[in-house]
Structure 1
Amino acid sequence: MVPKARALSRAERVQAIANLLRQCPAEEFAMAFNDLRALLVDDSLLLQEAPGLCAWHHKVHFMPVRTPECRVLLTCHNTLEENRYFDPQAQVSFKYDHVRGEAGDFQVYAQEDGKAEMWRRSLEEALGTYVSHHYPKGLCSVFVKDTAMRKILVACIQASMPKPSPFWSSLWKSEWTFTLSPSTSTQVTGTIDVQAHYFEGGNIHLAACKEVTLPLPVASRTQAIRAFVKLVEDSEGQLHAGLMEEYQRMNDTYLKAFRRQLPITHSMIDWEKIMTGRIVTVPALH
């Protein structure tokens, strides 16, 4: 006798929902959320957890905000209190509704116009040019992290390509950090994350991550920023080239095993014609 399945408690359902949404690809969060909403039939439970899960998801994947007032990524580096964020380039802060995906209540948020801000502005302008050339829908933001001992520049890049109709989505994001130093060199640390998901008649998920640690010469601000952008371009280009080589290798070997082979004529079988009556009969063997 098969034992009767035990109903999940409220806490267990919350944990299951959270686990599923945290694994969701960046551009499929809304679809997954709506599907879970239909399955769960408990809006009070889902909406109770939605704001926190959405906020986590948006900051982890560098959600872009594009409005007439600002263009900035949502990250842990520009988070204020009560779901407020700031755009250092536009010098505004705003409240973001993570469930609705809407920004509002814009207020002036002036940054201290010192040496670090000069670096930040110059870096964001140079990096923005690079991003516009390589990522048609990309966006970058640069922030200053002020510690007791030093000032740190953090550059974030995000580019996504949602294609729900052809059943695939992709995300490219990277984060780069270096310290403003009085010496003639500093060190850049970076993390590049790439995700791609294809889900038409199957489920193929690509996830790649590359850690970068390289020296950066600092002869002058102009020279250092130029060298930094070149460092980012070379590092991301190397990862992209490596992924394309690996994809081609997989396409020539492993992925072919997942595909249904074409007949010897190399033409597609007309299944509709077969199903409408043109059934081929084979003589019985004697």
Structure 2
Amino acid sequence: MYLEDVAMLEEQQDEKLQVMRNLLKQAPPEEFNEVFNDLRLLVDDDSLMSQEAACLWALHNKVYFTPVRQEECEVLLTRHNELEENRFLDPQKQVSFKFDHLRKQASDFQAHAQEDKKGEMWRRALYEALNIYVSSHYAEGLCSVFIKDTAVRKILVACIEGHLNRPSAFWNGLWKSEWTVGLTPTSTSAQVTGTIDVHAHYFEDGNIHLTVCKEVSGTLPITSEAQTAQDFVKLAEKADNQLQADLAEEYQKMNDSHLKAFRRQLPITHSTIDWEKMVTARIVERLNNAWLG
């Protein structure tokens, strides 16, 4: 009987851990800390929480292109510039650094020069053109450009991140995109592919999370580094503008129909959930258990 009880407890622990992982992976951009703290109160098991926190925190920061702005570096955290576990590259300032995902702090800066001079010319030209666009169109936006070598071609990876967090107004938003430009030595054109992701989270007396993903593709004529970079920026800007127009049109449709229906029908009880009361009751229960124990 003892072994059966142990096996059942382990199964329950594994199930609880999987549920916790799934919830943390669904944390909206810039809200991992809030989701973690809420789960910590509900799970009431710090050892279990600590098993997954660091790994999932790092994944969250890389998936949503967390910006790092310090005197020594200004770069986005992505899978493309991760050198090893918790160490990243800023190709623009040619430094590598260690990153604490929990504190969101960079340290241990080391020089990291780009050996491929020709590739660096392409990367820097694309970054300079893209940075002008991002600075004028994204509030608090940041971009980074990385270069990867394969046996056949060089691949430029451009990442853009722009977020607005307004928790006092009960909403947060993120617009990010990832672009690849393939440069083949004998080709006169470059293939471009991109993915634009938009996240909006509204949480006043409810929880509405909008996620939009758009795939983009095209080709660019390869001329000089500067001209090709300018052509790429025009392609990215056109895709951004089209998606923004589509979202504005769709939002108007939702506001005229679906959102009004939500307000009439949800919640079924016709009353809001008092989350503060539920959390307070949970804390009181834990204190009573500790006192009686």
TM-score (norm 2): 0.84
Q: Cα distance, 1:82 vs. partner? A: 2.7
1:34-73 to structure 2, matched below 5 A, reads: 34-73=37-76
Tell whether 2:100 aligns with 1:86: no
Matched residues, number: 257
Whole-Å separation in 1 of the counterparts to 2:40 and 2:200: 24
Tell whether 2:217 aligns with 1:223: no
- The residue type equivalent to 2:30 in the other structure is E
Whole-Å separation in 2 of the counterparts to 1:104 and 1:47: 23
Other-structure match for 2:214: 210
Tell whether 2:238 aligns with 1:234: yes
Other-structure match for 2:248: 244
2:34 aligns with one of 4, 20, 31: 31
1:131-180 CA distances to partner (integer Å, 9 max, x unpaired)? Answer: 01111111100000111221100000011111111111111110000111
- The residue type equivalent to 1:148 in the other structure is A
Give the helix-richer structure, 1 or 2. 2
Other-structure match for 1:11: 14
Secondary structure at the counterpart of residue 161 of structure 1? strand
1:52-86 CA distances to partner (integer Å, 9 max, x unpaired)? Answer: 00111111111111111101011010001231001
Structure 1 outlier segments of 4+, above 6 Å: none
2:194 aligns with one of 166, 190, 195: 190
1:190-235 CA distances to partner (integer Å, 9 max, x unpaired)? Answer: 0001010111012222111110111111122221111000000000
Percent identity over the alignment? 63
Secondary structure at the counterpart of residue 177 of structure 1? strand
Other-structure match for 2:261: 257
Aligned residues of 2:126 and 2:226 also touching (Cα < 8 A): no
Aligned residues of 2:139 and 2:164 also touching (Cα < 8 A): no
Secondary structure at the counterpart of residue 114 of structure 2? coil
Secondary structure at the counterpart of residue 244 of structure 2? helix
1:226-264 CA distances to partner (integer Å, 9 max, x unpaired)? Answer: 10000000001100110001101111222222336xxxx
TM-score (norm 1): 0.86
Whole-Å separation in 2 of the counterparts to 1:181 and 1:95: 33
Whole-Å separation in 2 of the counterparts to 1:125 and 1:117: 12
Other-structure match for 1:168: 171
Between structure 1 and structure 2, the one with the greater Rg is 1
Whole-Å separation in 1 of the counterparts to 2:132 and 2:179: 16
Whole-Å separation in 2 of the counterparts to 1:82 and 1:197: 30
Specify every segment of 5 or more residues in structure 2 that has no aligned partner in the other structure, as ranges: 1-8, 265-293
- The residue type equivalent to 2:259 in the other structure is L
Specify every segment of 5 or more residues in structure 1 that has no aligned partner in the other structure, as ranges: 1-5, 261-286
Q: Cα distance, 1:181 vs. partner? A: 2.5
Secondary structure at the counterpart of residue 59 of structure 1? helix
Whole-Å separation in 1 of the counterparts to 2:22 and 2:82: 24
Whole-Å separation in 2 of the counterparts to 1:249 and 1:217: 38
Deviates more, 1:33-42 or 1:251-260: 251-260
Other-structure match for 1:268: none
Other-structure match for 2:4: none
1:112-151 to structure 2, matched below 5 A, reads: 112-151=115-154
Secondary structure at the counterpart of residue 58 of structure 2? helix
Going from structure 1 to structure 2, the CA distance change for 1:150 and 1:7 (only over 3 Å counts) comes to closer
RMSD after superposition: 1.8
2:180 aligns with one of 177, 180, 187: 177
